[in-house]
Amino acid sequence: MALEIIESCTSCWACEPLCPSKAIYEAKPHFLIDPDKCNECAGDFEDSQCASICPIEGAILNADGLPMNPPGSLTGIPAEKLAA
Amino acid sequence: MQLPVINKETPVSSASGCAAGSCGSTNDQMNHLPEHIREKVFNHPCYSEEAHHYFARMHVAVAPACNIQCNYCNRKYDCANESRPGVVSELHHPVQAVKKVLAVAATIPQMTVLGIAGPGDPLANPERTFETFRMLSEQAPDIKLCVSTNGLSLPEQVEELSKYNIDHVTITINCIDADVGAKIYPWIFWKNKRIKGREAAEILIAQQQKGLEMLVAKGILVKVNSVMIPGVNDQHLAEVSRMVKAKGAFLHNVMPLISEAEHGTYYGLTGQRGPTPEELQTLQDACEGDMNMMRHCRQCRADAVGLLGEDRGAEFTMDKVEEMEINYPEAMKMRAEVHAAINEELESKRLAKEAKVQLVSIQGSRPKEATRPVLMAVATKGNGVINEHFGHASEFLIYEASSAGARFIGHRKTTPYCEGGDTCGEGESALDVTLRVLAGCEVVLCSKVGYEPWGPLEAAGIQPNGEHAMEAIEDAVLKVYEEMRVAGKLAVKIIEQQKVA
């Protein structure tokens, strides 16, 4: 059970200091989550911290590969506008 | 810039020798600040249209993270309003940032101010921000430090902030009403949770106000920035202005929303427009009755280097900085000499101005007929004189001339007429852009103006005037105003039927 950061990450550093498991690390071209360390904040916080501060929709995936913050959920920008 | 009439509650510098009501002509906006504040900010380029031609500032991008989302910001770029997007900043670690600051300060001795403005929120990156401040306080005590923030984590940082050589803090406050805030901020990160909607705005507003009060109590200067968003907070900002002044902010900077669709922001993509220059000015005027307003903000990028409106960042990329060898203690001596020379020049200019004001107030004792105020646009490269061709100007300074004198009220950007080609993008020619930008102005003063734009300018009700090249701006503005008065163009009843292009 681990989250994953994908290529849309902008390397803004917001998530890194929040991770209670120190699973997030700086890498090129974007930050990564060590799947062996990540426990999705179980036991520490109600919500996964990285996914709760990440400003980029779709940049963090859950264990099933689905976005923690789906398109439109953070910015409110309608999907058809995003595609354009 | 001021009309003393509307700021008469503010103590006038005791050295200025001009009683309230007598010096309406040519004051810089700092002159109406209390003396202890004026002393702190007189060489700060962001606070004076005059000082910014002499002193430079720089920003370092050490703070990438943010703890809120604003609808005018796309986090894939830099913050669209606090730092205009385009190229993403070269992000620095504190050690690199300090190296860069020392290199710039040694190369550009006019650099007096270092700000941390982003690209995220500096106080959401407390370790990077404070490490940078700590090193600079030790290594470069002759540099003033400033920081801007959205305010969310400000209250818990005030104690730490007060330890450094921090000149002032800028808080971006766009609203004091959570219903307005819910239209500006989709979410905040607060106590380990993402909070959305009205609740998020409520928390943010409370934190901003608390932070403002705490800073003022500590004696740290606070400037408030607001982004003017037509239809969202434009009717609300006068109230914001009153509130932040009551709580002790010393300056309010109302900036226009930047919302081009290509920036990919919520506002950009949903068609939220920014204000016209006239709407912005009307609001700034409305707020001015309550608050010292800042009129010449150029909305710099988070990594800007140089005088306001110029960016010499390309000379100081990290690879170039790494190769420079800087002896800062030596540089500091040279800097002190340069600063002393500039201060002397500014002081003599200030005294000359005051002498002239007194002369005018003696000569001007004969009452004249009431005249209406007139907006004039001025093309200048700086130094307070009219020294730019109409066709080369990428911005115009806007002055309001009235029976009380000339007052600077802002700047308006355009595409230089000579560089614009036939069209720029949406089929609007560079001249059309300038005509639109100058709407409301009746005169444009420049060192030279070509034959071609002359006709369209006149047709739009804007008189081109190249007769005052190299003259001091405010003198020329008042001369032209006097000519208009003599020609009978300033009767209060006549309302110009200006064609807005």
DSSP string, B64-107: ---SEE-TT--TTSS-TTTS--SSPP----HHHHHHHHHHHHHH
Q: Residues B223, B99: one domain? A: yes
Any domain includes B54: yes
Q: Mean pLDDT over residues B71-85, rounded?
A: 63
Q: Is B334 exposed, middle or buried (0-12, 13-18, 19+ CB in 10 A)?
A: exposed
Contact B120/A81, CB-based, under 8 Å? no
Min CA distance, B436 vs chain A (Å)?
A: 29
Any domain includes A81: no
Q: Residues B118, B254: one domain? A: yes
Band (B46; pLDDT cuts 50, 70, 90): low
Q: Does residue A74 sit at the B interface (CB-CB below 8 Å)? A: yes
Band (B352; pLDDT cuts 50, 70, 90): confident
pLDDT of residue B27: 38
Q: Residues B45, B144: one domain? A: yes
Domain count, chain A: 1
Q: Does residue A77 sit at the B interface (CB-CB below 8 Å)? A: yes
CB A21 within 8 A of CB A35: no
Q: Residues B393, B246: one domain? A: no
Any domain includes A2: yes
Q: Residues B408, B313: one domain? A: no
Question: Tokens at residue B312, please?
Answer: 């010499």
CATH number for the domain spanning B379: value is 3.30.420.130
Is 70 exceeded by the pLDDT of residue B421? no
> Which among B64, B194, B266 has the least Cβ separation from residue A53?
B194
Q: Residues B173, B301: one domain? A: yes
If you average pLDDT over every residue of chain B, what do you get?
80
Other CB atoms within 10 Å distance of the CB of residue B70: 22
Contact B67/A76, CB-based, under 8 Å? no
Report DSSP letters for B211-230, one per residue: HHHHHHHHT-EEEEEEEE-T
Any domain includes A49: yes
Angstrom distance (rounded) from CA B234 to CA B128? 35
Is 80 exceeded by the pLDDT of residue B460? yes
Q: What is the pLDDT of residues B179-220, one digit of tens each?
A: 999 999 999 999 999 999 999 999 999 999 999 999 999 989
Other CB atoms within 10 Å distance of the CB of residue A35: 12
pLDDT of residue B413: 83
Band (B371; pLDDT cuts 50, 70, 90): confident
How large is the C-alpha radius of gyration of chain A? 13
pLDDT of residue B466: 92
Please give the ipTM for the structure prediction.
0.94
Angstrom distance (rounded) from CA B193 to CA B201? 14
Torsions phi, psi of B454, nearest 5? -55, -55
pLDDT of residue B495: 47
Is 50 exceeded by the pLDDT of residue B402? yes
Highest mean pLDDT among B38-47, B198-207, B424-433: B198-207
Contact A11/B64, CB-based, under 8 Å? yes
* Half-sphere exposure of residue B440: CA atoms within 13 angstroms, side-chain side: 18
Contact B65/A12, CB-based, under 8 Å? yes
Angstrom distance (rounded) from CA B450 to CA B389? 9
**Considering B258, B287, B320, which residue would you say is the last residue of a domain?**
B320
> Looking up tokens 């920014």, which residue turns up?
B274
pLDDT of residue B150: 95
Reading chain A (84 residues) residue by residue, the pLDDT tens digits are 899 999 999 888 999 999 999 999 999 899 999 999 999 999 999 999 999 999 999 999 999 999 999 988 998 888 777 655
Contact B66/A14, CB-based, under 8 Å? yes
Angstrom distance (rounded) from CA B161 to CA B167? 10
Q: Does residue A17 sit at the B interface (CB-CB below 8 Å)? A: yes
Min CA distance, A75 vs chain B (Å)?
A: 6
Min CA distance, B305 vs chain A (Å)?
A: 22
Any domain includes B290: yes
Any domain includes B5: no
CA B306 vs CA B90, B166, B208, B313: distances in Å:
16, 20, 30, 8
Interface test with B, best of A12, A19, A56 (most B CBs within 10 A): A12
**Considering B265, B299, B320, which residue would you say is the last residue of a domain?**
B320
B187 contacts in A (CB within 8 Å)? Answer: 74
pLDDT of residue B47: 65
**H or E element in which residue B398 lies:** strand B395-402
Is 90 exceeded by the pLDDT of residue B264? no
Q: Mean pLDDT over residues B239-245, rounded?
A: 93
What chain A residue is nearest to B72 in terms of C-alpha separation?
A75
CA B362 vs CA B22, B32, B241, B401, B473: distances in Å:
9, 21, 36, 19, 22
Q: Does residue B348 sit at the A interface (CB-CB below 8 Å)? A: no
Structural domain boundaries enclosing A28: 1-64
Highest mean pLDDT among B107-111, B198-202, B279-283: B198-202
What's the longest Cα–Cα distance across chain A? 41
Domain count, chain B: 2
> Which among A10, A52, A76 has the least Cβ separation from residue B186?
A76
**Considering B305, B320, B335, which residue would you say is the last residue of a domain?**
B320
Band (B15; pLDDT cuts 50, 70, 90): very low
Band (B237; pLDDT cuts 50, 70, 90): very high
CATH number for the domain spanning A6: value is 3.30.70.20
Structural domain boundaries enclosing B167: 33-320
Q: Residues B184, B304: one domain? A: yes
Any domain includes B254: yes
Any domain includes A23: yes
Other CB atoms within 10 Å distance of the CB of residue B27: 26
Q: From B327, B329, B349, B270, select the one nearest B49 (Cα to Cα).
A: B349
Is 70 exceeded by the pLDDT of residue B86? no
Q: Does residue B153 sit at the A interface (CB-CB below 8 Å)? A: no
CATH number for the domain spanning B47: value is 3.20.20.70
pLDDT of residue B419: 67
Any domain includes A30: yes
pLDDT of residue B155: 97
Q: Residues B176, B243: one domain? A: yes
